């Protein structure tokens, strides 16, 4: 039973199925019966019929359900961590210490946000009228999530939508659907009414595309690649849906000559290898001042060579595999092509060590001497690969940082206040860290500039995205012919 529709776990009726594979071992975790378009119709209908009552219940009541839900996930944290690791291959250390606690923190945040509707003061902005603002929910939200952080992506999509009184149909990535289904069931256990959250596990090109196009869906929220994001924009135009897009990234990591170099080296290793590099904010282009370039490259290469790959339960493992062999082939293909025009200083191959032979592993890879317009510098790898580019002047560093169609995240490494301020002002990205790379907090927004999309996840900004503002205006004088009518016809 791998569809969650109208409060019940059901079987998909498409007739086709998909094995969820642990990419660290190639073991089949579960076989999922995929959704048909008829299943999608049922889910949208359930969300539509749940909307009127859910949007009208008091925010405090919605918050109460979310608070209870947070405690359920807390009690079941180990189970969520294990299932998340089994469908993605992530080390248990990562799912226990990042994915699950991050999700609980998000739930607690949105339980609070549900009770904080904000707007302008009610007042007489014209002497003859009183104006006020209503902040209302939008309706049925259709959401699509990727496979890199399945549990956290379900949280980022579902929580602001329902906290703001909407109902939702989520389509997780079909290769990693298990924790999204558990998430929806646990919400139901916490008292969420049937139909408010529905999870449809189906193929992207058919079920995903139909959800984005569906005439009874009022808003779409998509996290995934920039290429599919463009098709979502087109599909949403059918009935002018509100659109929220969180797309690809190619984050710069700029190291100035005054930086604490060892801190930058540690930061580059952690920032590029987080989740085996399958993180849209991961450091991918280290842009390093020429005077410290050689030392930076040597130190990062040595640390990459020392990283231990392993299966989820291996407590010694630093990194897991890629999410699938398909993703590993994609990464290996880009590195192999890069070999012809640049130099691979570490990694660049799939390991054959004992215990790793059945997994989609790839060694942490460091690439140097690539031209700024080469594929490995420009395109998203979404794997354990860091490219290093040298620079001479601050202007050049900022230019290289912005020389990309993406703009999701970036970091600047310096102890010079003016340089740090300039970098935070001039680098075009939704988040710029100074002397760190990757940390996120529920209170602050995550979202892109440029072709990394628009709209924010997490924070009060994301809550606002899932509401619409209504201006209500009361005429105060009760006159038949208003003074302003003179602009339309002569007052006689
Ligand atoms: P993807 O775009 O291939 O797939 C994402 C989701 O879209 C999946 O659920 C998939 O089934 C669905 N999909 C595929 N084709 C579709 C179609 N034609 N219509 C509707 N849905 C369709 O991306 P991916 O490979 O799963 O994830 C990696 C990408 O996600 C990277 O580009 C990464 O940068 C991006 N990402 C972005 C963020 C962010 O916050 N900006 C976060 C995580 C991942």
pLDDT in tens, 361-400: 999 999 999 999 999 999 999 999 999 999 999 999 999 9
- In whole angstroms, give the CA distance from residue 223 to residue 237: 18
Q: Decide: 158 in ligand 1 pocket, CB within 6 A.
A: no
Q: Which DSSP symbol is given to 204? A: I
pLDDT band at 492 (very low <50, low <70, confident <90, very high): low
pLDDT band at 491 (very low <50, low <70, confident <90, very high): low
pLDDT at 490: 75
Q: Rounded to the nearest whole angstrom, what is the distance from the C-alpha of residue 485 to the centroid of ligand 1? A: 52
In CATH, the architecture of 251-434 is 3-Layer(aba) Sandwich (3.40)
Indicate where the chain has its CATH 3.40.309.10 domain(s): 251-434
Q: What is the mean pLDDT of the chain?
A: 97
Quick one: which of 43, 37, 1, 41 has its CA closest to 197? Answer: 43
pLDDT digits (tens, 9 = 90+) for 4-13: 999 999 999 9
Q: Decide: 150 in ligand 1 pocket, CB within 6 A.
A: no
pLDDT at 465: 95
Q: Decide: 224 in ligand 1 pocket, CB within 6 A.
A: yes
DSSP 51-116: HHHHHHS-HHHHHHHHHHHHHHHHHTHHHHHHHHHHHH---HHHIIIIIHHHHHHHHHHHHHHTT-
Q: Would you say residue 488 has pLDDT above 90?
A: no
Q: Which DSSP symbol is given to 49? A: H
What average pLDDT does the segment 239-259 reach? 97
Taking the CA of residue 245 as reference, the ligand 1 atom at the shortest distance is 41
- For a mutational test of ligand 1's pocket, the pick from 106, 149, 224, i.e. the residue with the most ligand atoms closer than 8 A to its C-beta, is 224
Question: Do 212 and 220 touch, CB atoms closer than 8 A?
Answer: yes
Q: Decide: 430 in ligand 1 pocket, CB within 6 A.
A: no
Question: Do 133 and 120 touch, CB atoms closer than 8 A?
Answer: yes
Is the domain covering 3-247+452-472 a CATH 3.40.605.10 domain?
yes
pLDDT band at 213 (very low <50, low <70, confident <90, very high): very high
pLDDT at 341: 98
pLDDT at 450: 98
pLDDT at 487: 87
Taking the CA of residue 457 as reference, the ligand 1 atom at the shortest distance is 40
pLDDT at 486: 87
Indicate where the chain has its CATH 3.40.605.10 domain(s): 3-247+452-472
pLDDT at 221: 98
Q: Which residues contact 244 (CB under 8 A, 6 or more apart)?
A: 219, 220, 221, 222, 453, 454, 455, 465
Residues forming the active site = 246, 280
pLDDT band at 119 (very low <50, low <70, confident <90, very high): confident
What average pLDDT does the segment 156-169 reach? 98
């Amino acid at each position: 039973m791998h569809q969650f529709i109208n409060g019940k776990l059901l079987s998909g009726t498409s007739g086709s199925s998909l094995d969820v594979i642990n990419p660290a071992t190639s073991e089949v975790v579960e076989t999922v019966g995929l959704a048909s378009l008829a299943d999608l119709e049922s889910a949208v209908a359930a969300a539509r019929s749940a909307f009127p009552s859910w949007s009208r219940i008091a925010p405090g009541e919605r918050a109460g359900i979310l608070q209870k839900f947070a405690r359920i996930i807390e009690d079941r944290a180990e189970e969520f961590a294990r299932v998340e690791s089994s469908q993605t291959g992530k080390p248990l250390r990562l799912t226990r210490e990042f994915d699950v606690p991050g999700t609980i923190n998000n739930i607690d945040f949105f339980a609070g946000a549900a009770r904080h509707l904000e707007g302008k003061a009610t007042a007489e902005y014209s002497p003859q009228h009183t104006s006020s603002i209503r902040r209302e929910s939008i309706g049925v939200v259709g959401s699509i999530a990727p496979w890199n952080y399945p549990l956290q992506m379900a949280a980022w999509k579902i929580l602001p939508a329902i906290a703001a009184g909407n109902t939702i149909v989520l389509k997780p990535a079909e290769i990693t659907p298990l924790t999204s289904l558990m998430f929806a069931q646990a919400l139901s256990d916490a008292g969420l009414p049937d139909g408010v959250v529905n999870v449809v596990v189906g193929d992207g090109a058919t079920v995903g595309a139909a959800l984005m196009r569906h005439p009874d869906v009022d808003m779409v929220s998509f996290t995934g690649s920039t290429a599919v994001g463009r098709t979502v924009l087109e599909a949403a135009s059918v009935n002018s849906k509100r659109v929220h897009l969180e797309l690809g990234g190619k984050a710069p990591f700029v190291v100035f000559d005054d930086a604490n170099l060892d801190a930058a080296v540690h930061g580059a290793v952690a920032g590029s290898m987080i989740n085996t590099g399958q993180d849209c904010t991961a450091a991918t282009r280290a842009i390093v001042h020429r005077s410290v370039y050689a030392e930076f490259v040597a130190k990062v290469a040595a640390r990459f060579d020392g990283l231990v790959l392993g299966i989820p339960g291996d407590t010694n493992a630093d990194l897991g595999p890629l999410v699938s062999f398909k993703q590993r082939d994609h990464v290996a293909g880009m590195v192999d092509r890069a070999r012809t025009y640049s130099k691979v200083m570490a990694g660049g191959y799939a390991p054959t060590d004992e215990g790793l032979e059945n997994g989609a592993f790839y060694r942490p890879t460091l690439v140097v001497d690539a031209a700024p317009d080469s594929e490995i510098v420009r395109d998203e790898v979404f794997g354990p690969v860091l490219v290093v580019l040298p620079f001479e002047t601050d202007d050049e560093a900022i230019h290289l940082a912005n020389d990309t169609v993406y703009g999701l995240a970036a970091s600047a490494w310096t102890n010079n206040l003016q340089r740090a301020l300039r970098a935070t002002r001039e680098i075009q990205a939704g988040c710029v860290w100074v002397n760190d790379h990757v940390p996120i907090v529920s209170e602050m927004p995550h979202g892109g500039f440029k072709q990394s999309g628009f709209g924010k996840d997490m924070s009060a900004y994301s809550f606002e995205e899932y509401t619409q503002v209504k201006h209500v205006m009361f005429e105060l004088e009760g006159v038949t012919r208003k003074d302003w009518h003179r602009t339309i016809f002569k007052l006689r």
